[in-house]
Amino acid sequence: MDEGNGPAGNAADIAEMSFEQALTALEGIVQQLEQGDVPLDDSITLYERGEQLRAACQKRLDAAQARIEKIVTGADGKPSGTTPLDGAN
């Protein structure tokens, strides 16, 4: 099975997707699996792809939440920027 060129794709192409694209792709996989007419091997491949998409979406949501939480407030109490997430644990 060639996961790089098939409908399942690979992790590298997921990294290039926007959050919205990854979420749409995940929703499409869920719909296919819910229909119940996908052969077993294809279902497993779709499930694996769905898990990769879910993890990518969760990672982006976590990063967005961390960025929001790191908004720096100025002396006047208003947001003045954000701190970089690089190196943050």
Give residues with Cβ within 8 angstroms of 10, minimum separation 6.
3, 4
Residue 59: per-residue pLDDT: 96
Which residue is listed with tokens 């979420």? Answer: 23
How is residue 26 written in tokens?
Answer: 């995940």
| Sequential DSSP letters for the chain | --TTTSTT--HHHHHHS-HHHHHHHHHHHHHHHHH--S-HHHHHHHHHHHHHHHHHHHHHHHHHHHHHHTEEE-TTSSEEEE---TT--
| Domain definitions of the chain by residue range | 11-82
Q: What is the pLDDT of residues 33-80, one digit of tens each?
A: 999 999 999 999 999 999 999 999 999 999 998 888 777 666 676 777
> Which pTM value belongs to this model?
0.69
11-82 belongs to CATH 2.60.40? no
